[in-house]
Amino acid sequence: MVAAVSAASGLSKGDTEAALEAFRDVIENEMANGSGELLWPRVGRFYRQTRAPRTISTPMTGGERRQIPETRIVRFSPSATLKELVR
């Protein structure tokens, strides 16, 4: 990704890598401590979602049932523009 963005933008690979790392840090910070939503125009939306607790059965242990606690996960929803480009 660094090489592709560097070639497309004309930035050095070092500058591109620093920018992508900063972008990653922004996403991580928003998901962990911020609003839990980050909009990237024409690309999509990263958002935090809570998965409810649930019970699962494990086939390898003879169907033993166990509880999975509530967890927070990160989702991505592509924009209409990106969806159209893929079609």
* H runs (alpha helix) in the chain: 2-9, 13-32, 80-86
| Tens-place pLDDT, residues 23-55 | 999 999 999 998 899 999 999 999 999 999 999
pTM above 0.85, yes or no: no
Angle subtended at Cα 32 by Cα 69 and Cα 4, rounded to the nearest 5 degrees: 115
Mean pLDDT estimate for the chain: 93
pLDDT for the residue numbered 19 = 96
